[in-house]
Amino acid sequence: MLSSTKNGPLSGLIVIDLTRILAGPYCSMILADLGARVIKVEMPGNGDDARQVGPFYKGLNGEKNSAYFLSINRNKESIALNLKSPEDKLIFDKLLLSADILIENYTPGTIEKLGYGWDFLNKTYPKLILASISGFGQTGPYRELPAYDMVVQAMGGILSITGEEGGRPTRVGVSIGDLAAGMFGAIGVQAAIIERNKTGRGKHLDISMLDSQVALLENALSRYQIEGKIPEPIGSRHPSITPFGVFKAKDGFLVLAAGNNAVFQKLCDAINQTEIINDHRFVSNESRCINHVDLKTIIEKSLMERGVQEWMMIFKAQGVPVGPLNDLSDVVKDPQINARGMLIDTLLSNGEKILTAASPVKFIGDEPFAPSPAPKLDEHRLSLLKELGL
Amino acid sequence: MLSSTKNGPLSGLIVIDLTRILAGPYCSMILADLGARVIKVEMPGNGDDARQVGPFYKGLNGEKNSAYFLSINRNKESIALNLKSPEDKLIFDKLLLSADILIENYTPGTIEKLGYGWDFLNKTYPKLILASISGFGQTGPYRELPAYDMVVQAMGGILSITGEEGGRPTRVGVSIGDLAAGMFGAIGVQAAIIERNKTGRGKHLDISMLDSQVALLENALSRYQIEGKIPEPIGSRHPSITPFGVFKAKDGFLVLAAGNNAVFQKLCDAINQTEIINDHRFVSNESRCINHVDLKTIIEKSLMERGVQEWMMIFKAQGVPVGPLNDLSDVVKDPQINARGMLIDTLLSNGEKILTAASPVKFIGDEPFAPSPAPKLDEHRLSLLKELGL
């Protein structure tokens, strides 16, 4: 039997992780970051497909290593097992005996074909929780279709409301289709653990990437139904507060957020345009929303006179909510992000380091976040077999 | 003392919810959907500010009701308490005696000023978990600055990589700054519950909206550091797979995803452009990524000959991964989304109904999701006071 000596609120929990690429590994990384022991079971040969996804860095022997894989598989162990081989199945069965949670993101039906369907698992390991993460879920007409992040972003509606005003629907710049499913997966797994602490029985969690997109639609769904208009991309402004969005200054962009008339007047003061306060186009938030294009033109004409840093100081002094638009080079230098320990040095196998995002789930008084690096394929075979008595 | 008779994996847990607007209420809705009893403590008078946020519908007496509030506060009870009034503080103290979790999303420092800082809470209610959700977190130089969704989207980097190629950074069409913090909040609360089941002690969870954005940056962070180029908006295509993105057909958009040469050839067959398979610009994924503009022009010229539905059938028959680009009117009709029960009829106070997104955290064999409606301000005062013996 395996045991777990990791620190953290989920300490003691053992996760067997069959997942590949992004949604599943993001889910198990969240659990690992919170102290669960996560054992990644990978296909012999190439392992998790994410190992072949860039960006790559060159290792000491010239081999291509995936920095992408590295950033979502820290804090995990790896063993390579072929679940179609009887010998490897024996090892896998031994792992399941110790496990609290099995996570998989195969196309629905696959885990049954491998001999580990829910009926078998629940009978054999009654305390085990099975978390299935798939593109469309375990039920419904599309259940067996393959899904990609972009496909569920498109089907779930978020793409149709992201982009330039009047322009094409635009992908969210990160794989929110995968990431949201991973987060809801971690939520469901923990809920099942809490329930199991009372009932002694595991459950089968059924997370769909498409469902998870629908759950993020926020007010777009009610706006469509109540107002009867199909929501469209509107760039970087708020649908019902103006001025509230991204504006261009001399050397870059900044965000201004004026939620009411008082702040709007301060904003006009700050840009030396007090004469527009009483302009009939801008007297109320409602009229400003209607005339948002005119207002933006006026604001940006003024903003072109100075740089972002100078404007930030002016707006802050006036009490106008303002923020920088950070690109990735700014993010890694941002004082707040660094003060929060949100970027951690991760050692590459060539001796170099890169920054990866830390866990955002922080408890006051806990030790600083210090994960172990992502495993090499099959790195923990020997130690695991020894622990299992094999 | 309060008790809880709700169904679900978190049944028995009692959440006192001081949160307003979106991040906090989304967090407590996730917990409520999973069976926790959530008691929303609102300011007398107007209550949660989200009650004043549109879209609005007209009630039977002509009053303006927020459909927005409705969609993120189902399954909760409401009591109006002024935490600066000694009488109301007594009621609040009684609520805390029964509570497992207190959630707040004030600016850091405010809960201390109200007399409910962590030191006091932890001494008085040692089992209580305090979940603080804020714009920038409880520590760091920006901790006391106000945050808005768009500010943290801009500071966290996601805005800088969303938008049209060569165009302006674009806001994600939903408030992902709030939603992600709500999700990580629910993850942290459950982790603290699992730990408390072992230690008997609560913890103070410190969730920052900005941290949560950084945790979503996915491969952009490693791309920037390994490749040395600052990632920019690239519209609706994948940064390293081509063709993989949104394409325009005669009557709308669809998503095509050709991850390798074999699928690319099928795609060329489907659009009757077999001659481009051996075009030197498109012979490998790498060359297709370099020449993605040329390829898109060719594909879209062909796609203009038919409508989306016809193309979907053709691509599916050829084995090319394809999906529709659903706008909100398509989402509410989508057969998979409906088969999954992801849209639930919510009764408005005027007798009409709208669809809201259901919980995406589904367990096989559980009852269909049937939440109670969002509460009116102070709706549960009498029943709560009675339960508390006041």
The phi, psi pair for B246, rounded to 5°, reads -95, 135
CB B169 within 8 Å of CB A329:
no
A71 vs B contacts (CB less than 8 Å): 218-219, 221-222
DSSP code, position A366: P
Tokens of A84: 């179609």
User: A294 pLDDT exceeds 90?
Assistant: yes
User: A103 pLDDT exceeds 90?
Assistant: yes
CB B143 within 8 Å of CB B136:
yes
Out of B30, B157, B216, closest to residue A326 by CB: B157
- The DSSP line for A123-188 is HH-TT-EEEEEESS-SSSTTTTS---HHHHHHHHSTGGG-SSTTS-----SS-HHHHHHHHHHHHH
Largest Cα separation within chain A, whole Å, is: 81
Distance in angstroms (rounded) separating the CA atoms of residues B79 and B277: 66
Q: Which amino acid is at B139?
A: T
Tokens of B359: 């919980």
Any bridge partners for residue A66, and if so which?
A56
CB A93 within 8 Å of CB A120:
no
User: A186 pLDDT exceeds 90?
Assistant: yes
**Gap between the terminal Cα atoms of chain B:** 11
Pairing relationship of beta strands B252-257 and A343-347 according to DSSP bridges: unpaired
Look-up of token digits 């469901």: A188
Reported residue count of chain B is 390
Q: How confident is the model at residue A348 (pLDDT cuts 50, 70, 90)?
A: confident
Tokens of B296: 């898109």
The pLDDT of residue B70: 93
Q: Which residue among A238, A280, A292, A380 is the active-site one?
A: A238
> Among candidates B96, B106, B118, which has minimal Cα distance to B1?
B96
SS3 state of residue B345: strand
The pLDDT of residue A379: 97
The pLDDT of residue B347: 85
The phi, psi pair for A102, rounded to 5°, reads -115, 125
Work out the minimum CA distance from A380 to partner chain B, whole angstroms: 25
ipTM score of the complex?
A: 0.96
Question: How many CB pairs below 8 Å do chains A and B form together?
Answer: 495
Does B227 contact chain A (CB < 8 Å)? yes
CB-based contact A237 B364, cutoff 8 Å: no
The pLDDT of residue B224: 95
Look-up of token digits 């527009």: A276
pLDDT in tens, chain B (390 residues): 898 888 999 999 999 999 999 999 999 999 999 999 999 999 999 999 999 888 899 888 888 899 999 999 999 999 999 999 999 999 999 999 999 999 999 999 999 999 999 999 999 999 999 999 999 999 999 998 878 899 999 999 999 999 999 998 999 999 999 999 999 999 999 999 999 999 999 999 999 999 999 999 999 999 999 999 999 999 999 887 899 999 999 999 999 999 889 999 999 999 999 999 999 999 998 899 999 999 999 999 999 999 999 999 999 899 898 999 999 999 999 999 999 999 999 888 888 899 999 999 999 999 888 899 999 999 999 999 999 998
Does B230 contact chain A (CB < 8 Å)? yes
Distance in angstroms (rounded) separating the CA atoms of residues B372 and B356: 12
Query: What are the distances in angstroms from CA B96 to CA B15, B103, B112, B130, B383?
Result: 9, 11, 15, 11, 16
CB-based contact B215 A360, cutoff 8 Å: yes
Share of chain A above pLDDT 90, in %: 86
Q: Which of residues 100-119 of B touch A (CB under 8 A)?
A: 118
A168 vs B contacts (CB less than 8 Å): 164, 235-236, 246, 248, 253
Work out the minimum CA distance from B312 to partner chain A, whole angstroms: 13
The pLDDT of residue A301: 97
CB-based contact A183 B188, cutoff 8 Å: no
A47: left (phi over 0), alpha (psi -120 to 50) or beta: left
Could you tell me the sign of the dihedral formed by the alpha carbons of B359, B361, B362, B366, in that order?
negative
Does A217 contact chain B (CB < 8 Å)? yes
User: A185 pLDDT exceeds 90?
Assistant: yes
Work out the minimum CA distance from B25 to partner chain A, whole angstroms: 12
Any bridge partners for residue B362, and if so which?
A206
Give the H/E segment covering residue B388. none
pTM over 0.80: yes
Distance in angstroms (rounded) separating the CA atoms of residues B103 and B116: 12
The pLDDT of residue A350: 85
- Mean pLDDT in chain A? 95
Range list of H helices, A200-251: 209-214, 219-227
The pLDDT of residue A351: 86
Residues A235, B211, B328, CA angle at the centre, nearest 5°? 35
For A161, nearest residue in chain B (alpha carbons): B173
The pLDDT of residue B55: 87
Residues 6 or more apart whose CB falls under 8 angstroms from that of B363 comprise: A188, A192, A203, A204, A205, A206, B9
**Domains annotated on chain A, with CATH:** 14-216+342-388 (3.40.50.10540), 244-327 (3.30.1540.10)
Work out the minimum CA distance from A90 to partner chain B, whole angstroms: 27
A332 vs B contacts (CB less than 8 Å): 221, 224-225
Any bridge partners for residue B130, and if so which?
B102, B204
Distance in angstroms (rounded) separating the CA atoms of residues A99 and A18: 13
CB-based contact A359 B328, cutoff 8 Å: no
Out of B198, B214, B360, closest to residue A360 by CB: B214
Distance in angstroms (rounded) separating the CA atoms of residues B358 and B34: 11
For B50, nearest residue in chain A (alpha carbons): A219
Active site residue A292: no
B327 vs A contacts (CB less than 8 Å): 157, 160, 230-232
Does B252 contact chain A (CB < 8 Å)? no
CB-based contact A328 B159, cutoff 8 Å: no
Question: Could you count the other beta carbons within 10 Å of the beta carbon of residue B289?
Answer: 17
Question: What are the tens digits of pLDDT across the range A258-288?
Answer: 988 999 999 999 999 999 999 999 999 889 9
Does A168 contact chain B (CB < 8 Å)? yes
Distance in angstroms (rounded) separating the CA atoms of residues A246 and A158: 20
Return the residue in A64, A216, A230, A330 with the most chain B beta carbons within 10 A, the one to mutate for interface testing. A216
Does B176 contact chain A (CB < 8 Å)? yes
For A148, nearest residue in chain B (alpha carbons): B257
> Among candidates B129, B236, B234, B235, which has minimal Cα distance to B185?
B129
The pLDDT of residue A81: 98
Any bridge partners for residue B353, and if so which?
B347
Give the H/E segment covering residue A308. helix A308-318
**Gap between the terminal Cα atoms of chain A:** 11
CB-based contact A360 B255, cutoff 8 Å: no
SS3 state of residue B16: strand
User: A140 pLDDT exceeds 90?
Assistant: yes
For B141, nearest residue in chain A (alpha carbons): A336
The pLDDT of residue B202: 98
Distance in angstroms (rounded) separating the CA atoms of residues A159 and A168: 9
For B73, nearest residue in chain A (alpha carbons): A218
Distance in angstroms (rounded) separating the CA atoms of residues A388 and B106: 49
The pLDDT of residue A347: 85
Q: Which of residues 123-152 of B touch A (CB under 8 A)?
A: 136-142, 146, 148, 150-152
For A348, nearest residue in chain B (alpha carbons): B226
Residues 6 or more apart whose CB falls under 8 angstroms from that of A132 comprise: A104, A105, A106, A108, A111, A138, A204, A205, A206, A207
CB B183 within 8 Å of CB A182:
no
For A35, nearest residue in chain B (alpha carbons): B191
Does B191 contact chain A (CB < 8 Å)? yes
CB A152 within 8 Å of CB A105:
no
Out of A183, A218, A326, closest to residue B187 by CB: A183
For B341, nearest residue in chain A (alpha carbons): A211
Q: Which of residues 328-347 of B touch A (CB under 8 A)?
A: 328-332, 334-337, 339-340, 342-343
CB-based contact A172 B163, cutoff 8 Å: no
Least confident segment among A52-56, A194-198, A201-205, B44-48: A52-56
Burial A104-133 (b: 16+ CB within 10 A, else e): bbbebebbeeeebebeebbeebeebbbbbb
- The DSSP line for A244-275 is EEEEEETTEEEEEE--SHHHHHHHHHHTT-GG
Work out the minimum CA distance from A43 to partner chain B, whole angstroms: 20
Q: Cα A208 vs. chain centroid, distance in angstroms?
A: 15
The pLDDT of residue B131: 98
Does A266 contact chain B (CB < 8 Å)? no
Distance in angstroms (rounded) separating the CA atoms of residues A318 and A271: 10
Does B361 contact chain A (CB < 8 Å)? yes
User: A153 pLDDT exceeds 90?
Assistant: yes
Residues 6 or more apart whose CB falls under 8 angstroms from that of B278 comprise: none
